[in-house]
Homo-oligomer: A and B are copies of this chain.
Amino acid sequence: MKSNFNDKQIQILEVAETLFAEKGFDGTSIRNIAKVAKINIAMVSYYFGSKERLLESLIVYRTSDLKNQLENLLQEDLEPIDKINKLIELYINRINSNRGIYRILHFEFTSKKREQNLQAFSELKKGNLKSLETIIEEGQKKGIFRKDVIIPLIAPTILGTFFHFHMNKPFFENLLNLKTEDLYNNYIKTNLTKHIQQTIKALLIYES
């Protein structure tokens, strides 16, 4: 699918992404965006209509291909537990390399202020949940996964663990001695991902 945005729009969107992620939607002004993107302040209204619509465009711009990635994973010929592990890796990787937009989604679309624009985002989440459900039910049929787990709560455990870690970045950088950005990213890719995989595996396979 070709992007519907031209170069200038993309330039604005990416500056907006950084600033919204850093200082929040309300904490970022159009003049702020314009200055960093080196454009005139009227260009935001010209291209996107309003600040609010700029945010909507940003979400469309960033979340359009996750669905495909998940569907491809479902088709792969793997054991359920390996699919789960791959799904976790996919999620963490994707969110971690698109921190900006996910931080924004996490922040802006949970406040009462913007409940309306929620629908597209909600559909995305429902689709993701469906994928997870398919994999787990597959494992349950095969007798590998326990059946008394609450599937919709597994997503919060996967994503919540990552987010809570990342939201407290300065705290964990200090605690775990992750002095450079590389060390921090590496810790996420190895230890944190492993921890989440280990947790979900234990939850799904453990028999009391």
Contacts and interface: CB of A to CB of B under 8 A. Distances in A.
Q: How many copies make up the complex? A: 2
21 contacts: A22-B113, A23-B111, A24-B107, A27-B111, A118-B170, A122-B170, A122-B174, A129-B175, A152-B175, A152-B176, A153-B161, A156-B160, A156-B168, A157-B160, A157-B161, A157-B195, A157-B199, A159-B164, A160-B164, A199-B202, A205-B206
Interface of A: 22-24, 26-27, 106-107, 110-113, 115, 118, 122, 125-126, 129, 149-150, 152-153, 155-157, 159-165, 167-172, 174-176, 191-192, 195-196, 198-199, 201-203, 205-206
Given A107-B107, A205-B206, A163 B161 contact: no
B153 A192 contact: yes
